[in-house]
Amino acid sequence: MTALQQIPGRPATPRLPGRPLRKEKVVIRLLLLGLAGTTIYALATLDFGGIDMAEAVRDTFANLKIIFLHPGGPRLSFLSALEEVVITLGLAFLTTLFGGIIALFLGLLGAQNLSPKPVTVIIMALVALIRAVPTILWVLIFAVAAGLGSTAAVVGMTFHSISYLTKAYAESFEDLDRSVIEALKASGANWWQIVFQAVIPSSFSYLLSWTFLRFEINFANAVAMGAAAGASGVGFDLFMASGFYFDLREVGLITYIILGFAMALEAAATRAKGRIKHAG
């Protein structure tokens, strides 16, 4: 029976020829198979150095039980840990504030619908170069001049925040309808009037969203900088508890407080954005 022959009681259903695989799909599948094979081979030939994996798994779960079910510690009280987290939050706030103010002007100059093309190309290339370097490296670079501590952490994190927010702000400004800008120019408005009467008001919700997102990133970076760059805050206490005197109960206390602050920041950001959208 051919593909077009009809079965009694049923309409004829022709067989559709299968779609040939495109070159991109073949390459992706071969790449995934290669990665899977490499992973299996690596796990099969990995030298564990005489480690008992079953015992290691039991110890890991025992450590997690201590961290999350028995938080505390004799060296760090809840109020002391809370104070250190507030210091870390202050570092994140300062870096976001300084970075946002500078990035606002650079974003206006980097938007293609607001500035000449040579200016936008130079600014966006510069911020792309800065953004390509991780935050920790910028902090360590500035630590050479300022020394390890909160000063180097704030300057380095601000430097990276400027590059991140400049790109985000510029893309938000470029989403503005060009007809609005042309209408304001035709009415005799200058560049600053266009910016403050049309560009920033129409993009304010996006600017706030990007700023809150960077604030959350800076909070996480500030925790890491406390351990890596010797900056004050809860990051240094977390480094000491986990790597110096290995107090897992203290690690659990710090972890819970950091998680609580992170959830509070997310809730505050969502509520602020909702109020602004409702007011608009």
> What pLDDT, on the 0 to 100 scale, is given for residue 141?
83
Residue 280 has pLDDT above 70, yes or no: no
Kindly state the greatest CA–CA separation across the chain.
87
Both structure tokens of 59: 């110890």
In the chain, the domains with their CATH numbers are 73-279 (1.10.3720.10)
Q: How does pLDDT run across 60-100, given as a tens digit for each residue?
A: 889 888 888 888 777 777 788 888 888 888 889 999 999 99
Ordered DSSP codes for 78-118 = HHHHHHHHHHHHHHHHHHHHHHHHHHHHHHHHH-TTTS-HH
- Between CA 114 and CA 107 the distance in angstroms is 10
Best CA proximity match to 216, nearest among 83, 89, 102: 89
* CB-facing half-sphere around the CA of 249: CA atoms within 13 A: 9
Q: What is the pLDDT confidence band of residue 1, given thresholds at 50, 70 and 90?
A: very low
Total number of residues shown for the chain? 280
Q: Which pLDDT score is estimated for 15?
A: 54
Query: 3-state SS of 31-77?
Result: HHHHHHHHHHHHHHHCCCCCCCHHHHHHHHHHHHHHHHHCCCCCCCC
How do residues 100-139 score in pLDDT, each as one tens digit? 999 999 998 998 888 888 999 999 999 999 888 888 888 8
Q: What is the mean pLDDT of residues 4-9?
A: 52
Name residue 275's amino acid. R
As given in the structure block, the two tokens for residue 128 are: 């792309």
When comparing pLDDT for 179 and 250, which is higher?
Answer: 250
What does the block give as tokens for 112? 């293609």
Q: What is the pLDDT of residue 258?
A: 87
* 8 A C-beta contact, residue 252 and residue 68: yes
Would the pLDDT of 162 be above 90?
Answer: yes
In the predicted model, what is the mean pLDDT of the chain?
Answer: 82
* 221, 214 contact by CB (below 8 A): no
pLDDT class of 8 with cuts at 50, 70, 90: low
Q: Is the pLDDT of residue 37 over 80?
A: yes
In the chain, the percentage of residues whose pLDDT exceeds 70 is 88
pLDDT at 72: 78
Pick from 161, 144, 158: nearest CA to 229: 144
Taking 70 as the threshold, does the pLDDT of residue 164 lie above it?
A: yes
Across the range 131-158, mean pLDDT stands at: 82
SS3 call for 188 = coil
Please state, in angstroms and as integers, the Cα–Cα distance from residue 8 to each residue in 4, 11, 266, following that order: 13, 8, 63
CA distance 102 to 96: 10
